[in-house]
Amino acid sequence: MYRLVPKKYTKQRIIGPRNHLLPSQFLFLAMSLSGSQTKSPVSNTTLRRRALCTAEPLDDASKVITRPYPNFLNHDPWGTPSFPPVLSQNARLWFCSTSTLWASRRVAADPEAEQRRKNSTRTLSWTGRAASRSGPRQGNYTSNGSVKHRVVVLGGGFGGLYAAKALRHVPVEVTLVDRRNFHLFQPLLYQVATGSLSPGEIAAPLRAVMRGQQNAQVLLGDAVYLDAGKHRVILADGAVPYDTLIVATGARNFYFGNDSWQAVAPGLKSLEDATEMRGKILYAFEAAEREPNPSMRDAWLTFVIVGGGPTGVELAGALTEIARDTLRHDFRSIHPEESQILLLEGGPRVLPTFPESLSEAAERSLIRLGVRPRTGVRVTSIDAEGVALSTPGGEQRLLTRTVLWAAGVTASHFGQVLQQSAGATLDRQGRVMVGTDLMIPGHPEIFVIGDLAHAEQDGALLPGVAPVAMQEGRYVADAIMARLEGRTPEPFRYFNKGTLAVIGRAAGVADFGRLRFHGITGWLLWLFVQLMYLVQFRNRLIVFIRWGFQYLTFDRGARLITGKVSGQGQKKDTNQD
């Protein structure tokens, strides 16, 4: 048995003979045995302060005092406490005022009862943070003891992350699998590539994002195959079973069958791509500073961006600001403001997905910044020394050492896995054809969302942008909940909240259907939306401060050349002994 020692006495480990009663114990014993209904002279507040206790063994002489404690302290903390019949009303009130504190101390008289309490249904249903830290997850069961519905999410991008978070209050077990341990905010990758932001400011660790979701776990792994018959995702180093699978593995750079171009024209789909592009841009200015040949120096100071979509337009505007403002006074042999920045687009106008009026406004802004947009041209060859073009006037070659790719993307390789294992149909870009319910025909347990999905609405293909993936993720979570409740989910409908793009300082475009903005209004709307969609508050705050400082000073603090950079067609290590 145990003796309860009030907190005020715990500083003195030796309290006297072990069979002597403390004042608070004597008061409780008198109230319990006498059944007195008189009001206790000690206030509830005082009792609460004295109730935080430690435990010490008592000898046999005091068992009569401690006999009520086990029955009370081992009650179900989520149910109604049961009191020994010997207690009077005042004693019951005293226990009620201190029940929360006593239960939190978990002072148990019977180890077996304590173990039964830990294995109770409530503990298995909802595992708290302390339990998850002290041992393996135990949230695998429902209130009746059956195994929970297992949902596996492949990919921690916008679609996968929003689907996993939307399942927070659904009675399922969520497993989020990604080959990276972070969520990446891809719309701001170009700011990493141009030195405005650091990689950690647009990325958030998945475990930190999912920390408060008790029915979810995060696994670091690379999904290489799918056993659709046995409902298992095969990882490079194991397997994960599922009842429902959500595939959101995203997209990758696409060079239209010319994969050799990737070595000299990096794309922009990952943090590695962004840091490589940043090193390539900054190295061009460093190489031009040391180049004595004027024609070669001009080649180093010529930047060609392939693709006139939002990414290409944003890159062109940021590059102009770097050359005209950020690096203007940093070199002695060259004038960075004399750099040539060319934006190549195969269509008739830049920003082809925007209304024509906004495309024209964006083109005027680019020209005002110093960018030369060239539309109606097609790239036929890229090498370490230049770009070959097919133009309406004939073939042309541009001498440049810096080519940046923003022309196209294709679905991830997991689309081919779904084709082989689940019989999925792919389009020309490798995307999986799905119905209005975002499921693979014949496999209602497999959802495909985000850039990997070929989903149509009103006869038009949904664009591969972040808002579409977010809404698809939420829809899939609602569909899973509807299934568990025996309901049929409604077809997916995408609600277009608008499209935005930034050109440069105080220049942007925004399309909200009937409402269209450009100039500083579009720029401010773009800033607000980007900040709101960043996952963590810390990132929002840091990015907001960095943007404000950059706007006032034109300084880009992340102008670092890291790893290996391309120099004259050869790979050179920047590390020195």
Sign of the alpha-carbon dihedral angle for 122, 128, 130, 136: positive
Do residues 144 and 138 touch, judged by C-beta distance below 8 A? no
3-state secondary structure of 504: strand
Do residues 302 and 340 touch, judged by C-beta distance below 8 A? yes
User: Cβ contacts of residue 139 below 8 Å, gap of 6+?
Assistant: 124, 125, 126, 127, 148, 173, 214, 215
3-state secondary structure of 40: coil
β-bridge mates for residue 240, sequence order: 233
State both tokens at 364. Answer: 């005027």
Angle subtended at Cα 174 by Cα 139 and Cα 208, rounded to the nearest 5 degrees: 90
Is residue 516 within a helix (H) or strand (E), and if so which, with residue range?
strand 515-519
For residue 16, give the amino acid letter: G
Catalytic residue (one of 314, 321, 345, 363): 314
User: Cβ contacts of residue 446 below 8 Å, gap of 6+?
Assistant: 228, 244, 245, 247, 418, 422, 439, 440
Tell me the pairing of strands 386-391 and 232-235: unpaired
State both tokens at 329. Answer: 């006074």
Closest CA to 556 of 209, 322, 235: 322
For residue 13, the tally of other CB atoms under 10 A from its CB is 9
State both tokens at 555. Answer: 């300084």
Tell me the pairing of strands 172-178 and 216-220: parallel
- Residue-wise burial string across 146-158, b where 16 or more C-beta atoms lie within 10 A, e elsewhere: eebbbbbbbbbbb
Rounded Cα distance between 551 and 534, Å, is 20
Q: Catalytic annotation on 314?
A: yes
Which residues does the annotation mark as catalytic? 314
